A and B are shown apart, each in its own frame.
Chain A
């Protein structure tokens, strides 16, 4: 392809996404799900899985090969984010939350960062509790009794993250330019977040810990979710929201809980968070992990335009119940790519698309992402991508569908994080009276950066 053709192709792809996220039926569904993780690329090209994770540039060639074989409207390799779990970063900080197993995969063992007796401190000043108690327990190099070590490793970790993310970014960018892939949503519009209860469960109290607390200290758990809400909202809020930008929130705990606990304790702060993001014009992707069929009614309480990605469940029931108000995604069993014949793989896609496509509002996607190359059969993967491209076409492109983001008209209700560790301009100005007023925004920006750094450690 010459440059003009690439440019034209890219523009077509951009309009597929722009249309879809602005409630206009696109010419066809974007082929968005055919991702290759870093580990998959390493195995696919026969590279050593340990080596590549300390020098991602080794994957450039493999990615180029994949982009020639596998159809996709977006780079198969995604840019680096929190979920990339770059080993150097976690190792420099002595993480016990994210560690590499003998298989070369970064994993998250069950670890406890917050003790039962820390609830009052968390409720009083959650950010301080995270910095003073939780993070030093989960990140051994951030020992609060050894500030010399701490102040040394933080810039090291930041540098490692920057360099590794840049190496991944360079591969993605090159492919995007050469293949005319969708370059992604506007800069600063995407994000990542967690439901306050899930955040409390995950690295703070642990799955086992929260399962005890919800029965023994229900009120404290509730108060902790309320206390964490401003932090979770600030963390998830993109700098420049747009309907195309996605704030991903993998939802961990509800399917392991009793419904009354989900309704009373899990849902309220998450719901408020998603509503506030909608009010700001940011679209949340709620990944309903595991089987949410018993919670479909509950999901209808979330704002219109939210993406609901499902792992298990009945596509028709989901479509009937949620298809008008939300964007549905997921449901295609990734396992079939490995175990099925080419025909079975395609038949399954047809079955799901036939249910989901009429009336719009479905984005083709897998129930879960493949983790290692052995999780898929590459021939089937390639065949599926081409089938979705050719089959998921709209005759009535341009017609409007679904319910736009923030149709309810939620209003922004600021919920600033209050903590002794949040930058205080008045105090600073008192100490340095000659500082001009415009410098306030700069200092707050630096402070936000550190807020993000610390929260990144715990999501």
Chain B
């Protein structure tokens, strides 16, 4: 069996070569599905180290992007031994960049970190109208809705989206988090979201608190 602690550390250090070497060896040893799930969990713990180091200012956005890539690679490597019954998800998050805004780097980082934390993320994409959020929330009944935007005008679109969720009678069934350069405490209150952040790692923690 793999040294899970060492694996977690390697993921935290973003040492891709080492992580993949360990995982390839592990897969070749024909492990049980249960052990494979433990290895996945160890990788996920590594991601939360990455999040902590980001919050401490030791890692930067480029590192978060790479971390997302590393985790995807790790899970793909493990796929053959994971079997069909994948691990229990923490919950579903519907995520998108709001209408009028085409930026998605921040959204994508948040997405990969949420997935690393065990959430199922449904990514609507960029420039998404309020109706797209409403439809998806109706369909999948998520724990949370994440709205992202970089332009100042995104704040207005976020408010429109919250209003549309209210109108559809869905507002009370979900938590709403907004993220991106222009979001502030004041904007959050005005928009009627439950939380705001400009820090993906913090955003994941907030969502975990809602499960």
Identify which of B59, B61, B62, B100 contacts A214 (C-beta below 8 A).
B62
Give the residues in chain B near A108, CB-CB below 8 Å: 102
Given A103-B153, A216-B16, A375-B152, A207–B100 Cβ distance below 8 Å? no
CB nearest to B64 among chain A residues: A211
The segment out of A173-181, A222-230, A251-259 that lies at the interface is A251-259
B62 touches which one: A107, A257, A339 (CB < 8 A)?
A: A257
Q: Are A99 and B62 in contact (CB under 8 A)?
A: no
Given contacts A109-B102, A110-B105, A215-B16, contact A258 B152 (CB under 8 A): no
Q: Is B127 a contact of A256 with CB atoms below 8 Å?
A: no
Interface residues of A in 183-204 (CB under 8 A from B): none
Q: Is the CB of B60 within 8 A of A257?
A: yes
Residue in B69, B126, B129, B152 whose beta carbon sits within 8 Å of that of A109 in the complex:
B126
Q: Which of chain A's residues have a CB closer than 8 A to the CB of B126?
A: 109
CB distance from A372 to the nearest CB of B (A): 6
A316 in contact (CB, < 8 A): no
A101 at the interface (CB under 8 A from B): yes
Mark A408-436 against chain B: 1 for CB-CB distance below 8 A, else 0.
Answer: 00000000000000000000000000000
Known contacts A212-B66, A212-B69, A257-B60; decide if A105 and B152 are in contact (CB<8 Å).
Answer: no
Given contacts A256-B61, A257-B60, contact A101 B101 (CB under 8 A): yes
Give A107 to B152 CA distance when docked, in angstroms: 13
Cβ-defined contact, A255 with B60, below 8 A:
yes
The CA-CA distance from A101 to B99 in the complex, in Å, is 8
A152 at the interface (CB under 8 A from B): no
Cα A107 to Cα B105 in complex, Å, equals 13
**Alpha-carbon separation in the docked complex, A99 to B129 (Å):** 17
CB atoms of A371 and B65 under 8 A apart: no
Distance in Å: Cβ of B52 to nearest Cβ of chain A: 16
Least Cβ distance of A215 to chain B in Å?
Answer: 5
- Complex CA–CA separation, A103 to B151 (angstroms): 10
Q: How far is the CA of A99 from the CA of B152 in the complex (A)?
A: 18
Q: Which residues of B contact A317 (CB under 8 A)?
A: none
Q: How far is the CA of A258 from the CA of B126 in the complex (A)?
A: 28
Contact partner, B151, options A99, A110, A212, A371, Cβ 8 Å: A371
CB closest residue in chain A, given B108: A208
A392 to chain B, nearest CB (A): 27
A7 to chain B, nearest CB (A): 40
B-side interface size class? 20 to 34
**CB of B163 within 8 Å of the partner chain:** no
Using Cβ atoms and an 8 Å threshold, which residues of chain B touch A47? none
A105-B62 contact in complex given A110-B105, A207-B105, C-beta closer than 8 Å: no
For A369-383 the 0/1 string (1 means CB < 8 A from B) is 001101100000000
Query: How many angstroms from the CA of A255 to the CA of B153 in the assembled complex?
Result: 24
The proximity string for B residues 85-122 relative to A, scoring 1 for CB distances below 8 Å and 0 otherwise, is 00000000000000111111100100000000000000
Q: Does A46 contact B (CB under 8 A)?
A: no
Q: Are A110 and B60 in contact (CB under 8 A)?
A: no
**Binary interface profile of A, 87-118, with partner B (CB < 8 Å = 1, else 0)?**
00000000000010111010111100000000
List chain B residues, Cβ under 8 A from A253. 62
- Residues of chain B with a CB closer than 8 A to A371's CB: 151-153
Closest-by-CB residue of A relative to B69 is A212
Q: Nearest chain-B residue to A375 (Cβ)?
A: B152
Q: Is the CB of A207 within 8 A of B102?
A: no
Partner of A372, one of B102, B153, B186: B153
* Interface pair B65/A208, CB less than 8 Å apart: yes
Task: Determine if A107 and B103 form an interchain contact, defined as CB atoms under 8 angstroms apart.
Answer: yes
Contacts of B69 in A (CB 8 A): 208, 212
* Residue B33, interface by CB 8 Å: no
B66 engages A109 (CB within 8 Å): no
Contact partner, B14, options A207, A215, A256, A257, Cβ 8 Å: A215
> Is B63 part of the binding interface, using a Cβ–Cβ cutoff of 8 Å?
yes
Chain B's nearest CB lies how many Å from the CB of A366? 13
Establish whether residues B104 and A258, one from each chain, have CB atoms under 8 Å apart when the complex forms.
no
Kindly identify, within residues 38 to 77 of chain B, every residue whose CB is under 8 Å from any CB belonging to chain A. 59-63, 65-66, 69
Within 8 A of A (CB), among B144-163: 151-153
**A101 near B100 (CB under 8 angstroms)?**
yes
* Bound-state Cα–Cα, A257 to B186, Å: 30
Closest to B100 in A: A103
Given A107-B102, A258-B62, A371-B152, decide whether A101 and B127 contact each other with a Cβ distance below 8 A.
Answer: yes
- Complex formed: what's the CA distance from A255 to B62 in Å? 9
Question: B1-57: which have CB < 8 Å to A?
Answer: 14, 16
Given A212-B65, A212-B69, A257-B62, the answer on whether A109 and B104 have CB atoms closer than 8 Å is: yes
B148 CB → nearest A CB, Å: 13
- In the bound assembly, the distance between CA atoms of A255 and B60 in angstroms comes to 8
Shortest distance from the beta carbon of B110 to any chain A beta carbon, whole Å = 13
CB distance from B154 to the nearest CB of A (A): 9
Q: Which residue of B lies closest to A108 (CB)?
A: B102
Say how far B73's CB is from chain A's closest CB, in angstroms.
10
In the assembled complex, which residues on chain A have CB atoms less than 8 Å from the CB atom of B14? Answer: 215
A290 → B minimal CB distance (Å): 9
Q: Which residue of A lies closest to B57 (CB)?
A: A294
Residues in A with CB closer than 8 Å to B153 are 103, 105, 371-372, 374
Residues of chain B touching chain A, judged by Cβ–Cβ distance below 8 Å, are: 14, 16, 59-63, 65-66, 69, 99-105, 108, 126-127, 129, 151-153, 186
Closest 8 CB pairs of A and B: A103-B100, A211-B62, A211-B65, A256-B61, A107-B102, A109-B102, A256-B62, A102-B100
Would you give 28 A-B contacts (Cβ < 8 Å), ordered by A?
A: A99-B102, A102-B99, A102-B129, A103-B99, A105-B100, A105-B153, A107-B103, A107-B151, A108-B102, A109-B103, A110-B103, A110-B105, A207-B105, A208-B69, A210-B62, A211-B61, A211-B62, A211-B63, A256-B60, A257-B60, A257-B62, A258-B63, A339-B186, A372-B151, A372-B152, A374-B152, A374-B153, A375-B152
Contact residues of A with B, CB < 8 Å? 99, 101-103, 105, 107-110, 207-208, 210-212, 214-216, 253, 255-258, 261, 339, 371-372, 374-375
A108-B102, A211-B63 known; 11 new pairs, CB 8 Å cut-off, are A99-B102, A101-B127, A102-B100, A103-B100, A105-B151, A107-B101, A207-B105, A212-B69, A258-B63, A371-B151, A374-B152
